[in-house]
Amino acid sequence: MVDMTLLFDNISLEGPLKPREKMGVTFIGPDFFAVDENGEFLSHIGSVFPRYRAIVTVRGIHAHHISIMTEFLKPRTAKEDRIEASELEELICLDAVPLVFRGDLIIVRADPAGMENVFAADQILQSFFPKERIQFTGLNIPAIRMEFRRRGECWRMSPPPRSVEEICRYVRASKIQAGTGLTVYYNESTGGRVLTCDEFMRIRSLIEQDRSEALARLREILNLSHCTNRWGSRELNLLLPAGKDLDFAELEKAVSILEALPASEDTASALKAFDSFASVFTAAAGPELVKDDYSDPVWRTTMFCRLFGINEEEMEELALELSPEFHLNVKWLPGASVVGGQLRFDTGVHPRIHGLISHYWEHSGGLLSINIGQIQESLSSRDISGEEREVYLVSMTTRDGNDSISLLRLMKWDVIHRIKIGIPLEQAIEDTFKYRDYIFDRLRAAAKLGFPILTYGEIRLEQRVPGLGQVPAFFFERQYVTGVVSDKLPISCYKNPDFIENLSSLLGLAAAFTLVLGRVSFRTGKVFYDDGDELIQLDSNSIPSRLVIIETTGSFTDWTTPMHTLLPQCLSRFRVHLEKAVDSGVSLEVIQRSVEIFAEALGNKIDAIKEAVSAPFSDIRSLFDDHPPGQGGIRDRWEGIIHRLEAVDARSLRNDVVNSPQLRFPQPRQSTISN
């Protein structure tokens, strides 16, 4: 590996650095997109020098490319142009146009102060690649956008990822290595790099196994963290929450120890210094940033913000106090502004958004502002194929100064969906109205049984469909409620015994909701539980304080299967939470108590519902007697749900939980000491 302390000294333009000519361009370094035996790029970066018609693709950092070009041009300029070395390096630095290789694309770093040079580099690159494979940074810089707009080439600007999948793919594609085997994430717009705590900790084992490589990586971290590039960006930053930074004194101490340590000596002192810095790094990063986890919304959002130069504390979703799964998952849409007490719609506003804004304008009593954003990725991991599943976030301020946030969900099997699958228009409309009534019937039943659900409203729009005329579109509306869905609770919370105990009580209540109402997938028969519909509200100490059921997905789908048969699927999900607590250091005594708390909450809720059903003058049993009878209808299903409820023994259900093999954890092995 390259010793970073010598990276810019004694450059030899031989071997892999020997210049070669190709189509009138001087190349130094591997070919574009060249890979090693593992299929990894030999270099993720390059630099074009238009004035000298040269391209450098050596692995490292762009400053290294400037040094290589300076060394390459020294003999010629000293002899022919009589330019001093310092002046030459300055000219080359101003001429350099950085590149990043991402997938099969070349990303050119655009500079608003040097666009003429950027376009000159583009012309050279087009000698080797079509325009479609050459993109440019700077989408967030008006001056750069204007330059491309004038050229009719807005499409060539590198677009930001929109969906969670695209963000994950973007972050993965940003992983590079500089001079050593250290893996970092590269910000193609600024040239800066981001080092995660997870990657840093990989160096620890190298201190004992490959001391020279460990030393090279630690030197690289120190050197890059103390350097800024010509655009004023630090070459290396640590992945930390916004506004945090670290003192590198302990890391410098570890490097000094390793440098002075004879090869035969033990590395304990170096490890101690390394661990001292690592503990500070870990504490500053916090539990959500310690482990590289693309599925974790906090880690993913923070990393994406670092790679796109976004301060996550200033994101609109954070300002609105939305939970992490909404961060970078809302695409704000053209809408309307309120000017002089009148709505002024933006050019190109979608008819559906126009209709929704008009609805709120008519029913709100007066608006000061309204913004509508579309949720890009489903907040649940369920299979939603074949469903019309548009979800919108509506943020409003009324004339009396009240702020509100609503969530709108397009009915997943609406008129358009039914027409798509071949149902005639009139029948599609009739079936859609029946389905709407069925959804509200389920909500009424859940509320009647005392479950903590939200109040839903309906918004109906008329949309014109070519060849069909006016077709109704239905949205279910509810207020946004603060909290975190149960399957996305921060891992940092689980280390507190009070957290898992309180959570177990709420998850037991949620399990009762699933079992009583038969919440399963009509496609697979899989139980819907702990997968996006159960919102957990935390108190000021991050302890679960309240459960809110935000969706009743799958209710009434299974009204015959005994609860004992459905229960194991709930327990397998509950175990995931217990495992997180165990991994966070919670004792097995607390885990066992949490299992008992879960069982008690489940049994108590079922007993309470059974008591309410059988109470004198209760109208629960006859809730849907005004509906027509018929197999599979809402009345038939409700009768099945009540029958299943009356047949279950809550005490037996509690025992099933407490004695379940799914919820057993092995006791820690006791150490034995022999005399």
3-class SS string, 18-52: CCEEECCEEEECCCCCCECCCCCECCCEEEEEHHH
Regarding whether 166 and 154 lie in a shared domain, the answer is no
Question: What is residue 586's predicted lDDT score, i.e. its pLDDT?
Answer: 95
* Banded model confidence at residue 672, pLDDT cuts 50, 70, 90: very low
Burial (0-12, 13-18, 19+ Cβ within 10 Å), 576: exposed
Q: What is the mean pLDDT of residues 158-184?
A: 83
Distance, in Å, from the CA atom of 172 to the CA atom of 152, rounded to the nearest integer, reads: 31
Q: What are phi and psi of 236, to 5 degrees?
A: -145, 130
Tokens of 438: 């069925």
Same domain, 135 and 181: no
Residues 169 and 153 in one domain: no
145/212 same-domain check: no
Continuous segment of H or E residues that includes residue 193: strand 193-195
Check residue 655 and give its pLDDT: 96
Domain residue limits at 627: 484-663
Please say if the pLDDT value at position 303 is more than 80.
Answer: yes
Q: Which two tokens stand for residue 85?
A: 């070395």
Bridge partners of 55? 27, 48
CA 252 to chain centre: 34
| Residue 252 belongs to a domain | yes
Domain match, 169 and 301 both:
yes
Assess if residue 445 is contained within a domain: no
**Phi and psi, residue 642, nearest 5°:** -65, -40
3-state helix, strand and coil shares in percent for the chain, rounded to the nearest 5 = 45, 15, 35
- pLDDT value at position 621? 93
Are 154 and 170 in a shared domain? no
**Residue where one domain finishes, among candidates 131, 159, 187:** 159
- Whether 152 and 226 map to the same domain: the answer is no
Domain termination site, one of 298, 314, 330:
314
Is residue 184 over pLDDT 90? yes
Give, in order, the Cα–Cα distances in Å from 16 to each of 20, 29, 41, 58, 178: 10, 6, 15, 9, 16
| Same domain membership, residue 648 and residue 537 | yes
Examine residue 477 and state whether it is found in any structural domain, yes or no. no
* Dihedral sign of CA atoms 148, 149, 150, 155 in order: positive
Tens-place pLDDT, residues 351-385? 889 999 999 998 887 888 888 888 876 665 555 55
Question: Quick check: 11 pLDDT over 60?
Answer: yes
Give the end of a domain, one of 252, 279, 314.
Answer: 314
CA nearest to 55, candidates 29, 80, 75: 29
Residues 149, 182: one domain? no
In this prediction, residue 298 carries a pLDDT of 83
Residue 344: phi and psi, rounded to 5, are -125, 105
* pLDDT above 80 (res 162): no
pLDDT higher than threshold 50 for residue 8: no
Distance CA 124, CA 152 (A): 20
Name the strands in the sheet holding 484-485, side by side, starting at the edge strand that comes first in the sequence.
484-485, 534-538, 544-549
One domain, residues 147 and 103:
yes
Taking only the tens place, the pLDDT of each residue in 619-634 is 999 999 999 888 989 9
pLDDT tens readout for residues 138-160: 876 778 888 887 777 878 888 77
Q: Are residues 254 and 106 in the same domain?
A: no
Assigned domain for 435 exists: no
For residue 562, being part of any structural domain is answered with yes
In a domain, 178, yes or no: yes
How many domains would you assign to the chain? Answer: 3
Distance of CA 271 to the CA centre of its chain: 34
Collapsing DSSP to helix, strand or coil, 491 comes out as helix
Residue 634 lies in a domain: yes
In a domain, 432, yes or no: no
pLDDT for 671 equals 41
* Chain segment 524-563, per-residue pLDDT in tens: 889 999 998 999 999 988 899 999 999 898 999 999 999 9
Residue 2 has pLDDT above 50, yes or no: no
Q: Over 80: is that where the pLDDT of 317 sits?
A: no
Q: Are residues 123 and 250 in the same domain?
A: no
Give me the chain's average pLDDT, please. Answer: 86
